[in-house]
Structures are given as structure tokens and as C-alpha cells.
């Protein structure tokens, strides 16, 4: 079997891979939701969904650094990585152990493409098709809902010390745009560090993400002077940055955010 990943790299398999190492938290959740949990043999310490997964599966490190000896000992048939979350050097080194499938996420279309790929690779096409249908339906329903919501200028913080935001060319920014949010830092790329030495009076909404930095209520007071006209909210970072099956939940979360918090 010959397949391509989302970087158009060609991978070859004699049979359906039965032993999966996944180094991407949101993809670990997706793999389980595709009915493949029993095939998972290795995950990262950040793979928190499903909640029990780290009790049942070997933890091989993080998303940026892994224990190659642990992965090698698991004898994986495939290693699942992501262009943004895992380093290029890591994926190259892992290729000496097993075929490495790399995802690349910018839009919902990319997410749906990945789910179809996994359906083909792991022989679970019917389950993947059903999941794709659920996401398409939820996304379509949300697009109708958002048509009547006002446009807001937002800043989405992902880190503190240094203060960093999600800017253009990110999946977060894509989901912000779906929510009718104009990113105040869309003229910047990826995850820039920003200065709080100035004020941003034109920003309507500041979103403090729960990940990768775990922002809490106490952090609101640290930036309210820089955003004098903005509402400052804590938001679930998984809903704004996890792809795959998390999207089924994300659109309902966004609706609740608009209905109960922003209106």
C-alpha cells in the first residue's frame, strides 16, 4: 500500500499498520474516536484525551522531545506527527524507526482530508466517513449561526513571559475568522511575541487560552490597562486549536460563547 501524507511525502506499507505511535495530542484523540485505541502503543505526555490513555499506553516523551529508545522498543508500524507540533529534526530521526505520517493543518478541509487519509491507512473508512459527515454538518450549521453575529476585533493570547499571540498562518486564526473575529495581529505571522508597552484601544475582545499556557482569572488584571475597551475572557484552547474529532464539540462551544458570553 502506497499513500501520501499532507506534505505529499510518499509512504509505503506492506499491510495495514497495527501498532501506532502518536506524537500529537489532538490526533491521539482522533485515533481513539476512529475506533483504533487498541492499536495505540505510544503517546506523548500531553495526550490528555481520552483521559485514561496515558494509563494504558506507553508515554514516549513530549511533542518536541521524545525518547527514541522507548519508541524503537514499541516496534511501531507507523508514527503520526504534525508539521507544527513536532520538529523537522525529530520527524527525520523517527524515520529510521518506522514510516512517519505528517499532518499539516490550516483549514477544516485539511482536517477532513486527514480523517479520510486515516480511514484509508487504518482500514476504518466507514467510521472516518461518519466522522467527516458530523463535522461538515456542525460546520455548516455554525456558518448559518454566525451570519447574524457582529464582527469583533480580537487578540488571542497563547503564552505569558513573553506575551505571545496567535497571528496569521495558524489554525487558531482560521477558527477565529470562522467566528467572525478579526485578528488584531493578522499582519504578523504564526505566534509572535508582542509588546505590552503600548495600548490597543481598538481591540474589542481579548481571549486568554487554556493552552499551551494555562491562563487563569488572575491574569486578566495584568493586561486590562493595555486593552482598555476590550472584554477579557478565558477560553478553552482545545476548542480553538485541536483538529480532528474535537471539531464536533468545538462548534457547539463557539455557539455557547457567542450566546452566553458575548451577547
Residue 195 phi, psi dihedral angles, 5° rounding? -90, 135
Q: Are residues 21 and 118 in the same domain?
A: yes
Q: Are residues 19 and 53 in the same domain?
A: yes
Per-residue pLDDT of the chain (263 residues; tens, 9 = 90+): 899 999 999 999 999 999 999 999 999 999 999 999 999 999 999 999 999 999 999 999 999 999 999 999 999 999 999 999 999 999 999 999 999 999 999 999 999 999 999 999 999 999 999 999 999 999 999 999 999 999 999 999 999 999 999 999 999 999 999 999 999 999 999 999 998 999 999 999 999 999 999 999 999 999 999 999 999 999 999 999 999 999 999 999 999 999 877 76
The domain of 239 spans 149-262
CA 160 remoteness from chain centre: 19
Cα torsion 239, 210, 203, 191 to 10°: value is -90
Q: Are residues 154 and 234 in the same domain?
A: yes
- Please check whether residue 197 lies inside any domain of the structure: yes
- Please check whether residue 258 lies inside any domain of the structure: yes
- Please check whether residue 252 lies inside any domain of the structure: yes
- Please check whether residue 144 lies inside any domain of the structure: no
Q: Residue 209 maps to which CATH number?
A: 3.40.50.1980
Rounded Cα distance, 67 and 194, in Å? 34
- Please check whether residue 157 lies inside any domain of the structure: yes
CB-based contact 19:99 (threshold 8 Å): no
Q: Which three cell numbers stand for residue 185?
A: 495581529
Q: Indicate the helix (H) or strand (E) that contains 40.
A: strand 40-43
Q: Which of 114, 138, 162 is the last residue of a domain?
A: 138
- Please check whether residue 49 lies inside any domain of the structure: yes
- Please check whether residue 143 lies inside any domain of the structure: no
Predicted pLDDT of residue 260: 78
Predicted pLDDT of residue 227: 96
Q: Are residues 166 and 192 in the same domain?
A: yes
Q: Are residues 113 and 159 in the same domain?
A: no
Residues 6+ apart with CB under 8 A from 156: 165, 166, 172, 173, 176, 183, 207, 209, 240
Residue 133 phi, psi dihedral angles, 5° rounding? -65, -40
Q: Which of 138, 161, 185 is the last residue of a domain?
A: 138
| Domain count within the chain | 2
Amino acid at each position: 500500500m502506497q499513500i501520501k501524507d499532507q506534505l505529499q511525502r510518499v509512504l509505503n506499507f506492506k499491510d495495514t499498520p497495527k501498532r501506532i505511535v502518536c506524537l500529537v495530542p489532538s490526533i491521539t484523540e482522533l485515533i481513539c474516536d476512529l475506533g483504533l485505541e487498541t492499536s495505540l502503543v505510544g503517546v506523548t505526555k500531553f495526550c490528555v484525551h481520552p483521559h485514561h490513555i496515558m494509563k494504558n499506553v506507553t508515554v514516549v516523551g513530549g511533542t518536541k522531545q521524545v525518547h527514541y529508545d522507548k519508541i524503537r522498543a514499541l516496534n511501531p508500524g507507523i508514527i503520526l506527527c504534525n508539521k507544527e507540533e513536532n520538529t523537522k529534526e525529530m520527524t527525520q530521526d523517527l524515520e529510521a524507526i518506522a514510516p512517519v505520517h505528517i499532518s499539516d493543518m490550516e483549514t477544516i478541509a485539511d482536517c477532513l482530508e486527514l480523517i479520510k487519509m486515516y480511514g484509508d491507512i487504518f482500514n476504518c473508512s466507514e467510521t472516518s466517513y461518519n466522522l467527516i459527515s458530523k463535522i461538515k454538518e456542525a460546520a455548516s450549521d455554525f456558518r448559518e449561526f454566525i451570519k447574524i453575529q457582529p464582527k469583533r476585533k480580537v487578540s488571542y493570547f497563547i503564552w505569558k513571559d513573553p506575551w505571545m499571540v496567535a497571528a496569521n498562518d495558524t489554525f487558531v486564526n482560521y477558527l477565529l475568522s470562522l467566528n467572525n473575529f478579526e485578528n488584531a495581529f493578522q499582519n504578523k505571522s504564526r505566534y509572535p511575541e508582542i509588546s505590552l508597552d503600548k495600548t490597543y484601544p481598538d481591540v474589542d475582545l481579548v481571549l486568554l487560552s487554556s493552552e499551551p499556557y494555562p491562563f487563569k482569572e488572575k491574569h486578566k488584571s495584568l493586561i486590562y490597562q493595555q486593552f482598555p475597551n476590550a472584554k477579557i475572557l478565558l477560553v478553552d484552547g482545545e476548542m480553538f486549536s485541536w483538529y480532528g474529532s474535537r471539531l464536533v464539540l468545538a462548534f457547539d462551544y463557539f455557539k455557547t460563547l457567542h450566546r452566553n458570553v458575548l451577547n
